[in-house]
Amino acid sequence: MPTPPTPLSQIDTIVIVMMENRSFDHLLGYLSLSPHNRPIDGLINQLGWPPAFVVPYNNSAYTPWHLANAYTTLPGDPPHERVNIATQLAPLTNPPSPPTGFINSCPLSMDDGAGTNRPLVMAYHDQGEVPTADFFADQYTVCDRWFAPLPAGTQANRLMALSGYSLIDTNHSYTLLSRQTTVYDWLTSHGIRWRVYHENAPFIMAMDDWVVKWTASENFRLTADLARDVANEDASTFPQVIFVEPTYTSFPHLGQSDDDHPSTPIAFGQGFLQRTYNAITANPVRWGKTLMIVTYDEHGGFFDHVAPLPVTTPIPPGAEYQVPMTTTGVRVPGFLISPWIQAGGVHSEPIDHTAILALLGKRFSPDGVYSAAVTARGQGALSGAIDTALEDSPRSDIPAPPDSGKAYDRAWDLGDATAQLANTAFNAAVKDGRAAEALAKKFPGLIARL
């Protein structure tokens, strides 16, 4: 008898969305509090805060507090380079104990709305500020054991998601990222159709040989085209893997950033996620064979009570660092969104961003393998998988999200003043004759100001 199809084999399209710089407790920890009381490893405050949620600083003790305004511009960007995260995760013990160094790393404070200054990094949101995230948690499945791969910053963790390895452990500020083999290369070599939809400039722009290549590639389109393509594009050309990228706070862009990177208010990222979900579900037949994955690159310096996993990451050839990393990064939010995913579910298998690469290998590679390195990483402490959350049969409904976010002016913004790498990359592309015309068509307002 023929082998019955697996749920994963019924998925024709995998959509990947990676936001910026929020921890699990910061964004989704509220789900375990009253009145939600979800069976999630989140915040606990029934008879006071347990020790795991008490962080010392300057002979005082601080606990999580509710940041109730979704449009609050945060007073700063908590540090989240490797050296800062080492402070945040102290003490690293065996067995692991809850980290206590978050405020030591970032003592910035802000008004809690009631006239009291509280530590920025101990803030958390509730459903009122994150309606799209709350919708995803209610109608689909939350991953409460998803960790950033490395105890390092944005670029290193995004490279882990793109390549399964990272040549850096510290963000580049002025020089382009060195060439790495990426998932785009893997998909192309395996004959898998893929596409990146980006609101403004995509992350890969910062990598050496991609700085120009992405500008004229048909694999890169604006997010404004996403809903149309989902609804109308022929199956023979429609991508099997889709990456959707927000407007990055630290990249040159038009309009309000909506990647959730501080100091950007949380509301705009909720609007971006709602628009993305609406676009991906624009074709009910296509949606019936789609899995959408949403996660965050790293925790951004915000508190999380769960210790990182003991995972040693091998130093790849050509790396710019010599000291190996022996744990994952901090826990981050994760969502699995699909008709094949349980409503109100909790997926507690331990995974990091490389689980996405493992999923692509399992679904699209003849041998079910993305790479030996990704397979090896998915052992021991990171033995979880994404496809085990798939149900045996799909739902027929397409839940509608609540309205979230608000309109914003398409104003000029070069991003964070410290984001020299992104500005360097964008200007390099603009000045290259092969890219200038394509960029001018995509970003006429932006190019005019450079």
Domain membership of residue 249 as a residue range = 8-26+131-448
Cα separation, 293 vs 289, in Å, equals: 14
Average pLDDT of the residues of the chain: 89
- Domain membership of residue 157 (yes or no) is yes
Burial label, 116 (beta-carbon count in 10 A; 0-12, 13-18, 19+): exposed
Q: Where are the beta strands (DSSP E) in 157-210?
A: 194-198
Average confidence (pLDDT) over 342-369: 97
- Domain membership of residue 61 (yes or no) is no
- Domain membership of residue 54 (yes or no) is no
- Domain membership of residue 402 (yes or no) is yes
Which residues fall within 8 angstroms of residue 174, CB to CB, at 6 or more apart?
Answer: 420, 421, 424
Among candidate residues 203, 249, 195, the one with its CA nearest the CA of residue 222: 195
Average confidence (pLDDT) over 320-349: 96
pLDDT of residue 245: 96
pLDDT for residue 401 is more than 80: yes
pLDDT for residue 427 is more than 90: no
- Domain membership of residue 324 (yes or no) is yes
Of 71 and 346, more confident: 346
pLDDT of residue 276: 96
Mean pLDDT lowest among 83-87, 207-211, 375-379, 399-403: 207-211
pLDDT of residue 409: 40
- Domain membership of residue 420 (yes or no) is yes
With tokens 């027929």, the residue in question is 396
Of 208 and 154, more confident: 154
Q: How confident is the model at residue 243 (pLDDT cuts 50, 70, 90)?
A: very high
CA angle 389, 392, 394 (to 5 degrees): 95
Average confidence (pLDDT) over 194-209: 91
Mean pLDDT lowest among 75-84, 205-214, 352-361: 205-214
Tens of pLDDT, residue by residue over 254-288, are 778 899 999 889 999 999 999 999 999 999 999 99
CATH of the domain at 220: 3.40.720
- Domain membership of residue 45 (yes or no) is no
Q: How confident is the model at residue 126 (pLDDT cuts 50, 70, 90)?
A: very high
Q: How confident is the model at residue 301 (pLDDT cuts 50, 70, 90)?
A: very high
Mean pLDDT lowest among 181-185, 209-213, 216-220: 209-213
pLDDT of residue 406: 55
pLDDT of residue 176: 85
Among candidate residues 103, 207, 247, 106, the one with its CA nearest the CA of residue 421: 207
Task: Reply yes or no: is the peptide bond before residue 95 cis, omega within 30 of 0.
Answer: yes
Question: What is the total count of domains within the chain?
Answer: 1
Q: How confident is the model at residue 443 (pLDDT cuts 50, 70, 90)?
A: confident
pLDDT of residue 250: 82
Average confidence (pLDDT) over 165-191: 93
Cα separation, 18 vs 24, in Å, equals: 14
- Domain membership of residue 62 (yes or no) is no
Asked if residue 294 lies in contact with residue 337, where contact means CB atoms within 8 angstroms, the answer is yes
Q: How confident is the model at residue 414 (pLDDT cuts 50, 70, 90)?
A: very low
